[in-house]
Chain A
Amino acid sequence: MTNIKKCESTLTILNVLGLHARPAMLLVQAITRLECMVTIEKDGIEADAKSIMGVLTLAAEQGSTLHVQAEGPDAEQAVEAIRKLIHDKFGED
């Protein structure tokens, strides 16, 4: 049996400036080497969480809700890394 792990979480952006360039970079860097597909959805639009432009295009402002979904051996690790970054306000504020 193949080991397909799935993990998902709904998160709220906490930092004042929202998901701008630097946080987007931190987010992408945190998961880019993990073995899994990760998507972030906002208002029905789904971006590839490993793409900086994709994450930036969501224009996720403070207070907006994101739905993170990961699939693959490192799925749990990826969702946890994103949750932690958002929770820590990307080291901002």
Chain B
Amino acid sequence: MTDERILNSDPLPVRRLLEFRDLDLEVVAGKTGLDRSINRAELNRPALELAGFFDKWQPERVQILGTGEMAYLESRLRDESVKSNLERILAYRPPCVVVTNHRQVFAEMMRMADKHQVALLQTRHNTTHFTKRLWDHLEMELSPYVVRRGVLMDVFNMGVLITGTSSIGKSECSLELVAKGHTFVADDLILIRGSQFSKLVGMGRSPVPHHMEIRGIGIIDISRMYGPRSVRISKQVDMVIELEEWDPYKEYERLGIEGKTTRILGIELPCYNIPVKPGRNIGTIVEVAVLNQKLKEAGIHMAKEFDVNLIKAMRKSEEPEAR
């Protein structure tokens, strides 16, 4: 049951784009098209199509009309062929059309959007900025995802997925981390999204978020107990910590010179196996694992440095003392 089952996201209704406040989108026309869905994250600027070249046209993409396209349209609006090209673009029914740079949308275009039921949206942002933001949102919303069992925590600004068999103490360990001032994302079923081109982002799946079960106490609400600072909705997943029962016959990481990794959705993440046994303060060990990983990523490798210094010290003691 450890094999990764990749699930595909549902298509995104156009209406949802209005909820992304960084996009600053307003509906100009084609309101009936708001319930249609977006299936692809890729975008298109239909400049060539406006000029009549439809050979590689991909109507399933969101269409972006920037300053160039709008200026072209305005200057040639009396040209019947340009008008019919615009109509043809809308008649193919792309998921929606966005006009950037707060460019004025002319009446003829609004009429076409209404007629073909394609949402015509407008934003004040320039095309490059808007395109990047929209692509980030679409990529995240439409990318495949996996569901992993564990607890997702933000420890020193690193997203840590704590996994392990049931009753190993994942929740207790996370509670200890919250008490130390770290941030809780979700317990038990963690939905992790990402594609090969992006980072992994994890979030809870519960309709009632930020709860945890602590044996002997019951269900607790972390945000109530520790305040709004103690929780967040989602977090990039940077590393995995696997808690496991102490096995006297297993070899655990003793030096930390070679790092272990694991894969989630094809993305390689550092992974630490931490054996659990009474008397080991797991919260503190998780903190240390995170700090160790942060130092490694900053180019500071403590185990390797120790080894280099030890070898240096041994060489020095071999040298005859210079007097």
| Interface positions of A (Cβ within 8 A of B) | 21, 37, 39, 44-48, 50-54, 56-59, 71
Contacts and interface: CB of A to CB of B under 8 A. Distances in A.
A46 B205 CA distance: 11
A54 B189 contact: yes
Interface range, B side: 10 to 19
B1 A53 contact: no
Contacts of B211: 53, 56
Given A48-B149, A57-B205, 5 more contacts: A44-B7, A45-B189, A53-B189, A53-B213, A56-B206
Interface of B: 1, 5, 7, 147, 149, 166-167, 171, 187-189, 204-207, 211-213, 219
B212 A48 contact: no
Contact of A51 (B188, B205, B207): B188
Nearest to B171: A53
Contact of B1 (A37, A54, A56): A37
Nearest to B188: A53
Contacts of A46: 1, 5, 147
Nearest to B7: A44
7 contacts: A46-B5, A47-B149, A47-B189, A48-B149, A51-B166, A53-B213, A57-B206
Nearest to B191: A45
Contact of B219 (A21, A59, A71): A21
A52 B219 contact: yes
A46 B4 CA distance: 11
A59 B209 CA distance: 12
Contacts of A53: 171, 187-189, 206, 211-213, 219
B207 A54 contact: no
A58 B206 CA distance: 7
A37 B167 CA distance: 13
A56 B212 CA distance: 11
A59 B5 contact: no
